[in-house]
Amino acid sequence: MAKIDFGGVMEDVITSEEFSMEKARKALKDETVAVLGYGVQGPGQALNMRDNGIRVVIGQREGTASWNKAITDGFVPGKSLFPIEEAARKGTIIQYLLSDAGQVALWPKVKPCLKSGNALYFSHGFAITYRNQTGVVPPPNVDVIMVAPKGSGRTVRNNFLNGSGINSSYAVFQDFTGKATERTFALGIAIGSGYLFPTTFEKEVHSDLTGERGVLMGALAGVMEAQYTVLRKKGHSPSEAFNETVEELTQSLIRLVAENGMDWMYANCSTTAQRGALDWSPRFRDAVFPVFDELYESVVSGKETRRVLEANSRPDYRQGLEKELKAIRESEMWKAGAAVRSLRPENRKARKQ
């Protein structure tokens, strides 16, 4: 492990220097990794492992779009692509990468497929942390481990292909074989993690659910909508309102933050922008702090989990979801966004070809 100073707090992290891909291959040489679910995380992790020389089989419901995608990606029915239960029986490491609701629904069928000494792998702490609600209680004779990439499955794959990797957290919930930690490190490196940092199943899901509802998605969408709406009310055009709210953030400023941090982004903006941001940032922080506090408590209490499971179990959930997404897609703000994106030079060029 490497000790890294995170702003005065020392943390142990694992990189490919501490645990090489060669070491990962050696640790997994006798393993078959069964990836159950080929939706969000499944494709990126499975393809990266396959490219790294790990034996991978896919478990997915036959006839679905995800089954067909697996075939397109080179997995062969009857050889490396199977129905979920059959794949689970073939694996020594079972990557349980179905949706949270899917994990709950299929657990009664997957659990009997687990053999003594198997590893049950998650990329989210949801099912285990809230096992009183989900019913996902692993048998005592298997390893229970987690590698949680800090990004979408698409990013896991794209970052692997461009050589950058994606940061992931890891945890061991149950070590039956005595090699759970080694399996975890090997899988984390094999799926293309840039570095691995320790957590627990509980901390991962608490931070993840807070992040998704907060800065990463919910708060971001809400703040964007508020600013866009104010600018439109004050007479600014859709193009101007969208560019000042979204386009400049996503195409310029956030990239500067990603490169070298918030202070570096400030240093590379105008003095007018610097002063305004420094003055107003504390006001936004203080305004939303109580909301984040409430959000975190809602996550820890299990209230958010109940909401997810209840919503996803409704037979009309997909129709309701599409209605909500359609409302966003057809709002003026995001119609303006589609128009702005179409005017980017690369998109204009693509239209001409």
Buried b (16+ CB within 10 A) or exposed e, 252-275: ebeebeeeeeeeebbeebeeeeee
Task: Write down how long the chain is.
Answer: 353
User: From CA 217, how far away is CA 215, in angstroms rounded?
Assistant: 6
What are 83-126's pLDDT values in tens digits?
999 999 999 999 999 999 899 999 999 999 999 999 999 999 99
Question: Under DSSP, is residue 136 helix (H, G, I), strand (E, B) or coil?
Answer: coil
Q: What is the mean pLDDT of the chain?
A: 95
Query: Which of the four pLDDT bands, split at 50, 70 and 90, describes residue 151?
Result: confident
The pLDDT score that the predictor gives to residue 312 is 86
What are 58-79's pLDDT values in tens digits?
999 999 999 999 999 999 999 9
Calculate what percentage of the chain has a pLDDT beyond 90: 88
The pLDDT score that the predictor gives to residue 155 is 93
* 1 pLDDT more than 80: no
C-beta separation of 192 from 155 below 8 A: no
Q: What is the dihedral of CA 257, 261, 266, 269, to 10 degrees?
A: -40
The pLDDT score that the predictor gives to residue 351 is 67
The pLDDT score that the predictor gives to residue 164 is 87
Domain locations along the chain: 2-200, 211-352
CATH architecture of 211-352: Orthogonal Bundle (1.10)
211-352 shares the fold of 2-200:
no
CB neighbours of residue 103 within 10 Å: 22
* 352 pLDDT more than 80: no
- Which DSSP letter does residue 123 get? S
Stretch 244-257: mean pLDDT, rounded?
94
Stretch 165-173: mean pLDDT, rounded?
95
Instruction: Give bridge partners of residue 36 from the DSSP assignment.
Output: 59, 96
Specify whether domain 2-200 bears CATH 3.40.50.720: yes
Question: Under DSSP, is residue 197 helix (H, G, I), strand (E, B) or coil?
Answer: strand
* 189 pLDDT more than 80: yes
Q: What is the dihedral of CA 152, 158, 162, 167, to 10 degrees?
A: 20
* 238 pLDDT more than 70: yes
What are 278-331's pLDDT values in tens digits?
999 999 999 999 999 999 999 999 999 999 989 988 899 989 999 999 999 999
Which active-site residues does the annotation give?
Answer: 124
Question: Under DSSP, is residue 146 helix (H, G, I), strand (E, B) or coil?
Answer: strand
Report residue 348 as tokens: 């204009």
C-beta separation of 166 from 156 below 8 A: yes
* 353 pLDDT more than 70: no
Distance of CA 341 to the CA centre of its chain: 25
User: From CA 171, how far away is CA 147, in angstroms rounded?
Assistant: 7
The pLDDT score that the predictor gives to residue 336 is 96
As to burial, measured by CB atoms within 10 angstroms (0-12 exposed, 13-18 middle, 19+ buried), residue 233 is exposed
